[in-house]
Amino acid sequence: MKGRRSNHANLRLYLVVTVAVVLVVSVFVGVRQYRRWVQLRQIPPFVMPSSTNAWREDLRYLAAEIPKRHKNAFHSVTHAQFERAVAELDSAIPTLNNDQIAVGLMRITAMIGDGHTQYAMPSSFHFFPLEFYWFGDTLRVTRVAPQYRRALGARLVQIGDTKVEDVYAAVSTLVPRGEGELWLRRLSPLYLRTPEVLHGLGVLPTAERGRFTFEDDTGTRFSVDFEPVPRTEQAYGQQVRAEQAQWLLAAKAEPLYRQRSNESLWFTYLESDQTVFFKFNGYPGYWPFYRFSRRLLDFIDHHAVKRLVVDLRHNGGGNMTDLNGCCCRA
């Protein structure tokens, strides 16, 4: 009896210590996250520099902060190569327009070579009202504003006077390559419809309009002149979202992988194929993910399932270790 009471006491002590440690760690992590949130809230909105000196100041800040904040900034480019690129842009700034300078900053940041180090597009940038998707090595229009309906489903051949292959090569220098070729395929359509980027690369003579050349399924080539629309400006945000809802879709119905895009996690059962399709758009946090994985695995346990498809196409990445338990058991 005495030994049993001793074991119970040791177990209670172990549980108390474990809970205390978990609470301390949780508070510590919570405080760090709160401080980080406060720091991010204090960052002023981006304002496009209006002078050569202001751009140079931004460039100097970027060049100083990347090596300071990155754990190993020069794992894929040498310090000398980085400094040379910074110096070249600095000397060229007086002769460049704002779009060319912004593209130069994107290119320097992309040299670091990882997906978490990038020059985010300013909110003042615009986009042309169409969407592309790679089908193998072919880039086609999957959605478009109604006034440009002729381009729907067509293959992109040229932007301005530049072949799409050359535009893609130019855009690839702006996208961090550490995540692989698929990351470039995912992000490049965004750059290819951003007028300021295309202007900065010299593909378009202005960011005020853009001529895109397409080829339809009969082999006929035609050009369409697009007008840009605002990206996320508050004054136009609601209007733009309403207009995008009216865009035409090339597919007869919204493809499965594009459905429920506002949800971090969801799954559905394709009964005819005995397949569970799991769309993993983002990580919602430990406990929401834990509850979701329990529900997913319980579904698999009680249905005729031959395969599990995990679709990560719209997942921005991060710490994926929490997915291991779910996938390994499945």
Instruction: State pLDDT tens for residues 43-61.
Output: 566 667 778 999 999 999 9
Query: What is the percentage of the chain residues whose pLDDT exceeds 70?
Result: 77
Query: pLDDT tier at 123 (50, 70, 90 boundaries)?
Result: confident
In the predicted model, is pLDDT for residue 87 greater than 90? yes
Residue 251's pLDDT is 83
User: What three-state secondary structure class fits 315?
Assistant: coil
The DSSP secondary-structure symbol of 178 reads T
Q: How many CA atoms lie within 13 A of 187 on its CB side?
A: 21
Least confident of 105-119, 240-254, 283-297: 240-254
Work out the mean pLDDT of the chain and round it to a whole number: 83
Tell me the C-alpha distance between 159 and 180, whole Å. Answer: 25
Token pair, residue 302, equals 């009680």
In the predicted model, is pLDDT for residue 264 greater than 50? yes
CATH class of 126-251: mainly beta
- Segment 104-124 shows an average pLDDT of 88
Tell me the C-alpha distance between 222 and 141, whole Å. Answer: 14
In the predicted model, is pLDDT for residue 76 greater than 70? yes
Do 126 and 207 touch, CB atoms closer than 8 A?
A: yes
Query: pLDDT tier at 23 (50, 70, 90 boundaries)?
Result: low
Give the residue extent of every domain in the chain.
1-37, 52-110, 126-251, 258-329
- Segment 181-186 shows an average pLDDT of 83
CB burial class (10 A; 0-12, 13-18, 19+) of residue 154? buried
pTM of the model: 0.76
- Segment 9-18 shows an average pLDDT of 61
Query: pLDDT tier at 157 (50, 70, 90 boundaries)?
Result: very high
In the predicted model, is pLDDT for residue 235 greater than 80? no
Residue 242's pLDDT is 54
Q: Where are the beta strands (DSSP E) in the chain?
A: 126-127, 130-135, 138-144, 155-159, 162-163, 210-215, 221-226, 229-230, 248-249, 265-270, 275-280, 307-311
Handedness of CA 278, 279, 285, 287 (dihedral sign): negative
The DSSP secondary-structure symbol of 272 reads G
- Segment 231-249 shows an average pLDDT of 60
Please name which of 75, 89, 158, 160 lies closest in space to residue 119, comparing C-alpha atoms. 89
Per the model's pLDDT, the better-predicted residue between 25 and 157 turns out to be 157
In the predicted model, is pLDDT for residue 31 greater than 80? no
- Segment 241-255 shows an average pLDDT of 77
User: What three-state secondary structure class fits 30?
Assistant: helix
**Dihedral (Cα; 65, 70, 72, 77), 10-degree rounding:** -50
Residue 271's pLDDT is 92
Residue 315's pLDDT is 81
CB burial class (10 A; 0-12, 13-18, 19+) of residue 98? middle
Tell me the C-alpha distance between 176 and 70, whole Å. Answer: 14
Residue 141's pLDDT is 96
Handedness of CA 146, 156, 314, 136 (dihedral sign): positive
Whole-number CA gyration radius for the chain = 25
In the predicted model, is pLDDT for residue 113 greater than 90? no
- Segment 204-225 shows an average pLDDT of 96
In the predicted model, is pLDDT for residue 239 greater than 90? no
Residue 320's pLDDT is 58
Least confident of 81-85, 173-177, 257-261, 323-327: 323-327
- Segment 302-306 shows an average pLDDT of 92
Query: pLDDT tier at 230 (50, 70, 90 boundaries)?
Result: confident
**Dihedral (Cα; 297, 300, 302, 307), 10-degree rounding:** -160
- Segment 2-15 shows an average pLDDT of 58
Do 179 and 115 touch, CB atoms closer than 8 A?
A: yes
In the predicted model, is pLDDT for residue 7 greater than 70? no
Query: pLDDT tier at 26 (50, 70, 90 boundaries)?
Result: low
Residue 19's pLDDT is 57
